Structure 1
Amino acid sequence: MRRLRYRFDNLVTRGSRALLALLVLVALAISVVGATALVVLAPGAADLPLALWSGLTVAREEGPPPLPGSTPVVALTGIVIFSTLVGLVKTGLDRRLAGLRKGRSPVVERGHTVVLGWSEQIFLILSELAAAGETTCVAILADMDRPSMEEAIRDRAVLPRALRVVCRTGNPTDPADVAIVSPERARAVIVLGSEDADSDARTIRSLLALDAAGVRPRVQLVAGVRDPDNLVAARLAGGSGALVVDVDEISARVVVQSCLNPGLLRVYGELLGSGGSEICFRQPGDLVGESFGDALPALENGSLIGLERRGGIMLNPSAGTRIDADDRLVLIMAHGGAKQFRASSEPDRRAVVASGEHTPVAHRVLVLGWNARGPAIVAEFDRRMPPGSQVRVVAHDPRMTSRMDALAGTLTNVTLAHETGDITRYGTLDALGVGSYDHVLILADDRLGAHVADSRTLLTLLHVREMSRSNGWRHSLVTEMARECDRRLAEVTEVDDLVVPARVTGLLMIQIAEHPRRHDVFTDLFASGGQEISIRPAGDYVRLSAPVDYATVVAAARAYGEVAIGYRGDRTARGDGGVVLNPPKSRKVVFESDDAVIVLSGRDPRKDGLRPAAEPRRRLNHEIT
């Protein structure tokens, strides 16, 4: 009896299918026994097949039953079996619904975008993908329950109905879990890092899990690492088709460029975001045979910035570079812009005042706060500022004091000074003489949680802004925020630029995931020693207080070996900081002393050339220190 009960318990634990099979066998057994008894005890009532059918269907003709008392037995047996069957169906449905709520069912999609991991960037990624309109489904795999992910997305991301977001629960580093979102059939896979110290390790393991899922080389992989020492390992894990972004290095360069060029972050936001101006590739058309310098003012609705030739990118080549029929124009155009067409305006050479050489001016920079990107930020200041410049760092962080001596020995253009102080106290800031600096940079403390770090940053920002407003100081003020949601709070302080590193790198990863051809363009823009976007005084290019065609501005920028891509006018303009990208060449502009021209500049264009064919897909993070 114990053995029979043991076997019954094992059968029950096998699930609903085993119980359903048991019920069928019991029903058949009862029907066979009943039919046999009917034939034996009442030979004239029915033959065996008819008796078996009558037992299975519980059907008979009018009249008394052949066996008295058989009807209640059959009815009770049917009720028991039917009730048990209903219970099994309900239990199976409950289990199925519970499994769906857990988010473990496979995703059957093709051409979708896969996101592995969960961070603050996920809401930005979804919003940008929705704005771009180039994918209809995004599958997210993260190590958290599905209802929590869906609720967070509903609360913090406004998405159109055309974009479906499918959330699944699983470990992004486990090949079996990664297979749930069908990455091998996706158009692109984005691997998100985490906020802790193990971010790079998990990113590399996710890339290995994708390799085990058989996604390469068919699917575009994009990932980010924080430590440059992990770049080689990440590239090996992702394979030749993976684009690995050095998150902290790029963030440091954007912070420094924004500090030295107020308003530049708005330019990057438009180029990297969806809906504004974008980088695109077009056929040269009737520009074949013309020189690059002559072609710059020739397009009315597009800003020519370079050429794509034999799989390589030339940004801002020499003016005499001839455009071949096999080349592709690299343009900045309005999102979804029509075909480029010829400009009707000719540059007015009389309005050009360009001298052909910018006079370098030493800068004084005050850095308030410190984080892991601090050394890279100081090194970037040294690379971009002329000799005689000064950088002063004030923070209450032991990492700063331990790195300063070694860091100062590597600098060539900048004199570095540092001191310990609580930058959230008004008295500390007042004693620093903030008004004597050309640029003020406030860094978020990454030792603290993002919420606490942003709270301290906002307090420092409010103190500096009030001091500057009360004393009439004129200096650029750039603030680094840890969270995108806190950026709206800081906007009320009228700060020049608010840098959220996660936002910049997130937009960059989306761009190269959705448009791999743009990768090499951003490589040159963000890499050390490549082309860069600068904002320079308009008085260096054209006459002030007099109307000029924008085509004249383009011609004036070429005198410096630069490519004009826009201008910054009235900085009080609502919503855009006065930044205008890719204006029509025929537009009349009147520049004043505070206005500026946005240009693409960098290496001496006379020494520029096509990137070697051996590295047509050089990574954004190719420099490994």
Structure 2
Amino acid sequence: MSRKVSARARWRYWFDNTMSRGTTGLIGWLAVASAGLILVLTTAIELVRPSKDRGNPVLLLWKTFITTFSLAAPETGRWPELALWFVLALGGIFIVSALVGLLTSGVNRRLEQLRKGRSQVVERDHTVVLGWSDQIYTVITELVEANASRRRAAVVILADQDKVAMEDRVQHRIGSTGRTRLVFRTGSPLDLKDLEMVNLNEARSIIVLAPDGGTAEDADAYVLKTLLAINKGPAFRGRPHHVVASVRDSRNRDVAKLAGGDAIVLDGDDIGARLIVQTARQSKLSVVYHDLFDFGGDEIYMTAEPTLVGKQFGQALLAYRECCPMGLRLADGKTVLNPPPGTVISPGDQLVLLARDDSMIKLAARPLTVDPSAILHAVRGPAAPESTLILGWNRRASRIIEQLDIYVAAGSTVDVVTDRTDAATAVNRLGPKLRRLLIRSKSGDTRDRGVLETLDVLAYHNVIVLADDDLDALTADSRVLVTLLHLRDLLAGRGPGIVSEMRDDRDRALAQLTKADDFVVSEQLVSLLMTQISENRDLESVFDDLFDADGAEIYIRPASYYLRPGVSVTFSTVVEAAWRRGEVAIGYRVADPGDSHGVVLNPDKEQVMPAIDRVIVLSSS
């Protein structure tokens, strides 16, 4: 039920927001008050003066303004009278000074209270972010992008931080937020009274962020308590809330769901591990995921198309020119990406589409042409065993190895090199559980060039460099950069693809100078996912299918599997070629990308493609 807010409360909220701007707001209100005083008194004097004494109203307004700010006294008269006027002027000065002092101290106290960020928020249909971490900058940036088409949008941040400090940090990192207003409040998301400040019951969505630092157990405990406060708090109980959160330890996800009721809880470590494994085996896959997850490029939409009901899903693939169907959201709410051939679109089903904007979702004006002579159905050979080198260790390493065991062929190997003392114990525990991988560990500092020279890095198919989560982000990323610099110098442009995990997205620019193939910032990608789901709850089922090892996944495969060499075709031909293999094509990679990554998602199906070397597809194997 919507809470009724009085006009007085709304005016007070608006006044508080203007006053909390500090000196600028105070000067503005003093100017308004002065102008009002002068106008009212000028009008009153003009009304009470005899008609014969009335003159130019503008001149009277000027005299009133001068009198208001100058304490004017007569220039002529008898000395006793002038002495009294002098005493009066001095008294007036003291009285006005005292009044100004009292007003100033009162206003300053009020400003101090406002700048502490403890006043009530009366926004509606806003997004609430609870907690503070480095993820906040990604979340706010994406929400600003998502709100670009909204006329009024607000993001309210409640964290146990100083309000002014939060404002300064966001202003420094993000800058202008366009149409989106940011409202900061100081308070603990674990405190029920503080939660009431941000008007959760009328929020469009709520995002819960775990604090930086500390252990995964401490971070998950913070998330669990916040979810419990939202779901079970007396002021919020029984109200529907669209809450999105993530945990770091997979074991805590189920209990977090119990605490949060219908909250969506992501498994951050599991998602990060899957992304690292998939990216390590397919160069530039991180670029594809980043484009899918952010609001800056192509986005995932769901739409019903009555004209396609009763037709097979394969026919829908070439029904759109400027968007790519990816799968179906069935009437029961389940999402199936890359559905099996022969799947018929039923009433109530929605198409899952990749499009630049929802305004681009419209059927092609005419049938799209396909060049059957250019299509090649090459047969992939059996998967060969792979060798993977993992440099470094963190809490996700065990999950990464378990995921790698799912994808590789039998007889594959993984070598772990780290100076972490807990890694050997974890490796020994993992060994008997692995079905296809043979795992070995070696103690060594990955920043030591001598250690790296003994590893024969050229013999590996994949190299993964992990950031140590026992260290702060700056130190951990610095160690990764040192390792990458040594590796690139040793390999001299040859050898396996290198995937590095970073803690801070700002370090990616430096990492690119090392010419590593891919960079995965796990927390940033999880932040993007949380923001996407906060805007559209139905996307949870899409991402569940995308990250499920048994569902459809994104692959970047050689173009020679689909097209004859040297042909010039449109993307519609690639879509048809992929569908004949039971896959859904959603993009390609340019053969000569230059300095860029060369990845193109959702191209126009009627435009002739440049020379490509890879096709990006959704496939179940």
Shift of 1:77: 12
Unaligned stretches of 5+ in structure 1?
1-74, 604-625
Q: Which amino acid aligns with 2:222?
A: R
Instruction: Map 1:337-356 to 2 at 5 A.
Output: 337-342=359-364, 344-355=367-378
Which residue number in structure 2 is paired with residue 233 of structure 1?
Answer: 255
TM-score under structure 2 normalisation? 0.80
CA offset digits 1:63-93 (Å, max 9, x no partner): xxxxxxxxxxxx9999999987765544332
In our comparison, the structure showing a higher alpha carbon Rg is 1
Q: Is the 8 A contact 1:300 1:344 kept in 2?
A: no
Which residue number in structure 1 is paired with residue 294 of structure 2?
Answer: 273
Asked whether 1:602 is paired with 2:620, we answer yes
Shift of 1:491: 1.5
CA offset digits 1:482-534 (Å, max 9, x no partner): 11111111112222111111110000000000111211101111133222111
In 1: Cα distance, 2:256 partner to 2:95 partner: 59
Instruction: Map 1:442-591 to 2 at 5 A.
Output: 442-469=465-492, 472-570=493-591, 572-575=593-596, 577-589=597-609, 591=611
Unaligned stretches of 5+ in structure 2?
1-88
Which residue number in structure 1 is paired with residue 110 of structure 2?
Answer: 96
Instruction: Map 1:403-442 to 2 at 5 A.
Output: 403-442=426-465
CA offset digits 1:104-140 (Å, max 9, x no partner): 1111211111111111111111111111125721111
In 2: Cα distance, 1:570 partner to 1:102 partner: 55
Asked whether 1:129 is paired with 2:150, we answer no
TM-score under structure 1 normalisation? 0.80
- Match of 2:506, SS state, is coil
Which residue number in structure 2 is paired with residue 289 of structure 1?
Answer: 310
Q: Is the 8 A contact 1:184 1:215 kept in 2?
A: no
Q: Is the 8 A contact 1:138 1:163 kept in 2?
A: yes
Instruction: Map 1:186-225 to 2 at 5 A.
Output: 186-195=203-212, 196-197=214-215, 198-211=218-231, 212=233, 213-214=235-236, 217-225=239-247
Shift of 1:339: 3.1
Asked whether 1:328 is paired with 2:345, we answer no
User: 1:352–1:80: structure 2 CA closer, same or farther, 3 Å change rule?
Assistant: closer
User: 1:544–1:172: structure 2 CA closer, same or farther, 3 Å change rule?
Assistant: same
CA offset digits 1:516-554 (Å, max 9, x no partner): 121110111113322211111111111122212322211
User: 1:458–1:579: structure 2 CA closer, same or farther, 3 Å change rule?
Assistant: same
User: 1:430–1:385: structure 2 CA closer, same or farther, 3 Å change rule?
Assistant: same
In 1: Cα distance, 2:239 partner to 2:252 partner: 21
Q: Which amino acid aligns with 1:323?
A: I
Shift of 1:192: 0.3
User: 1:284–1:357: structure 2 CA closer, same or farther, 3 Å change rule?
Assistant: farther
Q: Which amino acid aligns with 1:230?
A: N
Q: Is the 8 A contact 2:144 2:178 kept in 1?
A: no
Asked whether 1:165 is paired with 2:182, we answer yes
User: 1:357–1:466: structure 2 CA closer, same or farther, 3 Å change rule?
Assistant: closer
Which residue number in structure 1 is paired with residue 196 of structure 2?
Answer: 179
Which residue number in structure 2 is paired with residue 107 of structure 1?
Answer: 121
Q: Which amino acid aligns with 1:321?
A: T
- Count of residues in correspondence between the two structures: 527
Shift of 1:351: 2.0
Q: Which amino acid aligns with 1:324?
A: S
Q: Is the 8 A contact 1:253 1:380 kept in 2?
A: yes
In 2: Cα distance, 1:297 partner to 1:336 partner: 18
Q: Which amino acid aligns with 1:209?
A: A
Q: Which amino acid aligns with 2:220?
A: D
Q: Which amino acid aligns with 1:157?
A: I
Q: Is the 8 A contact 1:111 1:186 kept in 2?
A: yes
Q: Is the 8 A contact 1:538 1:591 kept in 2?
A: no
In 1: Cα distance, 2:177 partner to 2:381 partner: 48
Q: Is the 8 A contact 1:216 1:239 kept in 2?
A: no
Identity of matched residues, %:
41
In 1: Cα distance, 2:326 partner to 2:381 partner: 20
In 1: Cα distance, 2:247 partner to 2:261 partner: 15
In 2: Cα distance, 1:286 partner to 1:309 partner: 16
Shift of 1:358: 5.7
User: 1:359–1:540: structure 2 CA closer, same or farther, 3 Å change rule?
Assistant: farther
In 1: Cα distance, 2:532 partner to 2:198 partner: 21
Shift of 1:591: 4.5
RMSD of Structure 2 on Structure 1 (CA): 2.5
In 2: Cα distance, 1:587 partner to 1:474 partner: 36
